[in-house]
Amino acid sequence: MLDLAAKIKKTEHSISLRASDRLLMAGGGGGGASHTIASRKEGGNAAALAAASAGRDTQLDNIVRDSNKIASEEITGLLASVVKDRVFNGVRVERARS
């Protein structure tokens, strides 16, 4: 559980950093020749943003997979404890009264 919490915090931090980087890259503009150069750079930035987005999705997929695994292990453990309780504590033999 602690490992999952650490992964979530790490991914959240990296996503927020990438979002702030996108805002900084989108802030440029202008006109004329500088606009043309900026639009050429944005083409390269679009590929970088797509790669970053794929990395973020991979991180989120890993977190979802890990959390589903932990949840299924917890459910299995709870069911096992219920079965053990029923098997060992649920059957009581009473003596017949004479």
Give the angle subtended at the CA of 74 by the CAs of 80 and 76, to the nearest 5°: 35
- Tell me how many helices (H) and strands (E) the chain has: 2, 0
Instruction: Collect all residues with Cβ–Cβ distance below 8 Å to 14 and sequence separation of at least 6.
Output: 56, 59
User: From first to last of its 98 residues, what are the pLDDT tens digits of the chain?
Assistant: 778 788 888 888 887 777 777 666 666 544 444 444 444 455 556 666 666 667 677 888 888 898 999 999 999 999 999 999 999 987 665 677 76
pTM of the model: 0.50
53-79: pLDDT as tens digits: 676 778 888 888 989 999 999 999 999
User: Alpha-carbon distance 81 to 94, whole Å?
Assistant: 24
